[in-house]
Amino acid sequence: MSEKDIIDRLKKIVEPYVQRMEGLKNFQEETDFLKDLQINSANLVDVVLDVEDEFDIEIDNDSMEGMLTVGDAKSIIQRKISGR
Amino acid sequence: MSSRVVITGMGVAAPNAVGLLNFEQALRNGESGIRFFPELKQLNFTCQIGGKPQIPEDLLKKYFTPLQLKGLNSSGIIYGVISGTDAWQDAGLEIDENAPADWDSGIIFGTGILGTDKFREAIQLIDQGKTRRLGSTSVIQTMASGISAYLGGILGCGNQVTTNSSACTTGTEALLMGFERIRSGQAERMLVGSCGDHGPYVWGGFDAMRILPGKYNEKPEEASRPLSASATGFVPGSGAGALLLEDLDSAVGRGAKIYAEVLGGEINSGGQRGDGSMTAASNEAVERCITRALKNSGISAGEIDVINGHLTATNRDSTEILNWTRALGRRGNEFPFINSLKGMTGHCLSASGSIECVASVLQMEKGFLFPNINCEEVHPEIQELISEDRIPKKKIDTEINILAKASFGFGDVNAVAIFKKYTP
């Protein structure tokens, strides 16, 4: 799976939770889920569950805590997919 | 602020109609909202019918954001948000998510149990060891105050925002609690109401108590028969009703439409002493609740034109009538008109009080009495107490000046509210 593919699929997943639409237009590795997209922090667990379903992986609590940006999420997904 | 409290907005999601205009039509026509549910048959329920508001997908999108709709599986919240939002907008109040909190507006929105379907989802995941898969909304959809919390955020209310719970008294109690808060000067506006989930997990316990009718599964619309000789139990229902209560000065100041005035009422309990128990109302307490409601409202028993009863279609209906005749000192053809909405909606449990308050106020505002459907033959014990023409079987057009609304609930709890046609 290419990095672009992962990021495209990630963008689709987070879209319903985004409260700042400008942030979505400029969706890239540096994009911060809370600051740039203003996703409600309570909804981050829902994003994680949706990521798990989409990529058929499991993201443990420690990995989730390090998932602040799109780039973080991409790396975690890549790592989990390769370890599957 | 004045000490007078008026109703300036209403909303409803009832088994026989959703939305105030549809509800008024359903009331006038005596439309039943009781349907057969194959699911209840599959689950071996004795009573396989019930009352459930019909909510199309398109309608949901008007009240909830796509994010709120994601994983939403709490029917009480759906009904409560629809009725509460409608009441707010019907009162001419704005919804502006960028405005600051409205410190003068609060919410008392009750329920009996909330989010049962969501809770079932959670229980199944937890039992499979998948607690981490619950997602973020399991708590807010199943906490009792979920309904006031959802409404509080949608409407931006900054005064007291809470949920009350007193079984089938809940809705009428919420109204009287909101009334008191405005009267004591602590709020200008209170959105009051109540909601109740539908479905087997709410209704099953009542089916097990064998107090629901089991012989009408093929003819659901005839099953709910308040006041009738052939009443065999209440039909379980669900839904929500909401009323926007407002200080009179505030209402007049902003030129709001006024539906009716709340004169007052009474909330009490029989303490489960004497003939009162967990499931049966103490007659003394009911009588006392009625007489004190009159006293608190500053009216005499003779002034009541109409009673909207609790009247669930069990053998308790005649006892309720007896209590009214005693408390009011009125019998035979001296008795006020009386009707029960439950013939059309079934017993909407925690939602019943508020749905029935909305129906009561609509009758006053529009000058009609809705028919007591399925009451072809009045129960003989009731016939001995009051004239049959006091129980409208067809819609009657009539001016109503004062109406008394009663709700009684498990735990031996009672509430009576008194409404009056508004005159400046």
User: What pLDDT digit, counting tens, does each position of B188-211 carry?
Assistant: 999 999 999 999 999 999 999 999
- State whether residue A69 is helix, strand or coil: strand
- Residue found under tokens 């409205």: B102
pLDDT (tens digit per residue) in B60-79: 999 999 999 999 999 999 99
Q: Which of A16, A45, A49 is the closest to B67 by Cβ?
A: A16
With an 8 Å Cβ cutoff, the interface of chain B facing chain A consists of: 66-67, 70-71, 132-133, 135-137
Q: Which residues contact B140 (CB under 8 A, 6 or more apart)?
A: B146, B149, B150
Cβ of B136 within 8 Å of Cβ of A17? The answer is no
Q: Which residues contact B268 (CB under 8 A, 6 or more apart)?
A: B285, B288, B289, B292, B413, B414
Q: What is the number of other CB atoms lying within 10 angstroms of the CB of residue A78?
A: 14
| B50 within 8 A of B16, measured Cβ to Cβ | no
Record the tokens describing residue B344, joined without a space: 């059309």
pLDDT (tens digit per residue) in A7-33: 999 999 999 999 999 999 999 999 999
Record the tokens describing residue A61, joined without a space: 């609590």
Cβ of A46 within 8 Å of Cβ of B66? The answer is no
Cβ of B133 within 8 Å of Cβ of A16? The answer is no
- What's the domain range around A66? 3-82
pLDDT of residue B167: 98
Tell me which long-range contacts B387-394 makes (C-beta under 8 A, separation of at least 24): B387/B332, B387/B333, B387/B335, B389/B333, B390/B333, B390/B335, B390/B336, B390/B337, B390/B338, B391/B227, B391/B337, B391/B338, B391/B339, B392/B337, B392/B339, B394/B30
Cβ of B135 within 8 Å of Cβ of A42? The answer is no
Domain count, chain A: 1
pLDDT (tens digit per residue) in B328-382: 999 999 999 999 999 999 999 999 999 999 999 999 999 999 999 999 999 999 9
- In chain B, domain spans: 5-260, 265-420
- Residue B270, pLDDT above cutoff 80: yes
A50/B contact by beta carbon, under 8 A: no
Average pLDDT of the residues in B109-122: 98
What is the rounded average pLDDT for all residues in chain B? 97
Distance from CA of B65 to the nearest CA of A (A): 9
Residues B163 and B354: their CA atoms lie apart, in Å, by 13
Q: Which fold has domain B5-260?
A: Peroxisomal Thiolase; Chain A, domain 1 (3.40.47)
Q: Which of B132, B133, B136 is the closest to A43 by Cβ?
A: B136
Residues A39 and B195: their CA atoms lie apart, in Å, by 30
Distance from CA of A5 to the nearest CA of B (A): 24
What percent of chain B stands above pLDDT 90?
Answer: 99
Task: Choose among B419, B372, B371: nearest CA to B397.
Answer: B371
Q: Which of B66, B67, B133 is the closest to A49 by Cβ?
A: B133
Give B334: exposed, middle or buried? Use CB within 10 Å, 0-12, 13-18, 19+: middle
Average pLDDT of the residues in A68-81: 95
Residues B341 and B306: their CA atoms lie apart, in Å, by 13
B265 — phi, psi (to 5°)?
A: 165, -165
Record the tokens describing residue B80, joined without a space: 């409560």
Which chain A residue has the Cα nearest residue B70? A16
Residues B337 and B307: their CA atoms lie apart, in Å, by 6
Q: Which residues contact B142 (CB under 8 A, 6 or more apart)?
A: B74, B114, B115, B118, B119, B122
Distance from CA of A33 to the nearest CA of B (A): 16
- Chain B environment of A43 (Cβ under 8 Å): 67, 136
pLDDT of residue B237: 98
CATH number at residue A27: 1.10.1200.10
- Chain B environment of A45 (Cβ under 8 Å): 135-136
- Residue A84, pLDDT above cutoff 80: no
B5-260 with B265-420: one CATH topology? yes
- State whether residue A59 is helix, strand or coil: coil
Residues B106 and B188: their CA atoms lie apart, in Å, by 8
Task: Choose among B126, B338, B349, B399: nearest CA to B238.
Answer: B349
A62/B contact by beta carbon, under 8 A: no
ipTM (interface predicted TM): 0.88
Tell me which long-range contacts B268-274 makes (C-beta under 8 A, separation of at least 24): B268/B292, B268/B413, B268/B414, B269/B411, B269/B412, B269/B413, B269/B414, B270/B412, B270/B414, B271/B412, B272/B411, B272/B412
Distance from CA of A15 to the nearest CA of B (A): 10
Distance from CA of A16 to the nearest CA of B (A): 6
pLDDT of residue B1: 53
- Chain B environment of A46 (Cβ under 8 Å): 70-71, 135-137
Q: What is the pTM of this model?
A: 0.96
Cβ of B136 within 8 Å of Cβ of A16? The answer is no
Task: Choose among B265, B273, B233, B237: nearest CA to B412.
Answer: B273
A43/B contact by beta carbon, under 8 A: yes
Stretch 9-38 of chain A: residues touching chain B, C-beta under 8 Å: 16-17
Measured torsion, CA atoms of residues B217, B118, B177, B276, in degrees rounded to the nearest 10:
50
Task: Choose among B4, B87, B88, B92: nearest CA to B422.
Answer: B4
Binning chain A into helix, strand and coil, the percentages to the nearest 5 are 65, 0, 35
Q: Give the pLDDT band of residue A83 (cuts 50, 70, 90).
A: confident
Q: Which residues contact B281 (CB under 8 A, 6 or more apart)?
A: B270, B316, B319, B408, B412, B414
Residues A81 and B16: their CA atoms lie apart, in Å, by 52
pLDDT (tens digit per residue) in B18-74: 999 999 999 999 999 999 999 999 999 999 999 999 999 999 999 999 999 999 999
pLDDT of residue B238: 98
Which chain A residue has the Cα nearest residue B65? A16
Average pLDDT of the residues in B229-249: 98
Length of chain A: 84
Cβ of A43 within 8 Å of Cβ of B71? The answer is no
Q: Which fold has domain B265-420?
A: Peroxisomal Thiolase; Chain A, domain 1 (3.40.47)
- Residue found under tokens 């309608």: B59
CA B207 to chain centre: 21
